[in-house]
Chain A
Amino acid sequence: MSVRVLLFATYADLAGRESVDLSLSVPATVGDLLRQLRVVVPGTRGIPERPLVAVNQVHARLDSPVQDGDEVALLPPMAGG
């Protein structure tokens, strides 16, 4: 399956890009996706082990399932307000 990963702020700087399309075997969790991302985009190894994540624009966890076509975002510590 294919999943789009979005990177923001300091994580985008580390990765050198703002999005990555990953192919994952089924079934997969956000944690599986992170492990694969660290292989495919070495710069993302600088992202904390357990970052905040969102799946399809809703806060999620590392053990949340990921499905084909999902949009998974890695969220640096928020600094709004």
Chain B
Amino acid sequence: MASLLTRTPIDLGRLVEAVSAPDRGGVATFLGLVRNHHGGRQVLRLEYSAYEPMAEAEAARIIAEAESRWPVRAGLAHRLGELAIGDAAVAVAAAGPHRAEAFDACRYVIEELKVRVPIWKKEHYADGSVLWVDPTAAKSASGNAVDRVSGAVR
């Protein structure tokens, strides 16, 4: 299988091509772009890093789960390294016979990726500060990520 982590720009067209087939008439895609703000602060650029072998393996497990739950082919790509505002950080594509399963599978892959795939984001702000982003810090239900991951433990 091709690597799901990449240090070069994401090609959504190629991802769509990889999951498409003549009997799959519904294709859903999700593209996550680098935002220029976080918590009211201006973001200049950011860096993604990963526990790469596990991130590859966990992402592949999520794809396999989506493909067993729905009659789809799914794919994803996640950037690593330094990214600029507006760059695509992540892309997901899911193709099935009809739109419902394509949308559901696409959503499943991105939501699971966010809580299970070991990737971290370091943001550089306009005021000169640098911070590792903690998506659980802002939420009152900060135990959620832990619970979700625990559910995935084999």
Contact = CB atoms under 8 A, between A and B. Distances in A.
Interface string A1-38: 00000101110010000000000000000000000000
B108 interface: no
Nearest to A57: B54
B68 interface: no
Contact of A76 (B53, B115, B120): B120
A73 B120 contact: no
A58 B154 CA distance: 8
Interface string A33-72: 0000000000000000010101001111100100000000
A79 B135 contact: yes
B8 interface: no
Interface string B120-153: 1110000000001111110000000110011011
Contacts, number: 89
Q: Which of B119, B132, B135, B137 has the most CB of A within 10 A?
A: B132
Interface of B: 32, 48-51, 53-55, 57-58, 78, 89-90, 110, 113-122, 132-137, 145-146, 149-150, 152-154
A77 B135 CA distance: 7
Contact of A80 (B119, B137, B149): B119
Q: Which of B49, B119, B120, B122 has the most CB of A within 10 A?
A: B120
19 contacts: A8-B51, A8-B120, A10-B120, A52-B146, A57-B53, A58-B57, A58-B153, A61-B150, A61-B153, A75-B51, A76-B120, A77-B135, A77-B145, A78-B114, A78-B135, A79-B120, A80-B113, A80-B117, A81-B113
Contact of A9 (B58, B78, B120, B152): B120
A77 B116 CA distance: 10
B149 A59 contact: yes
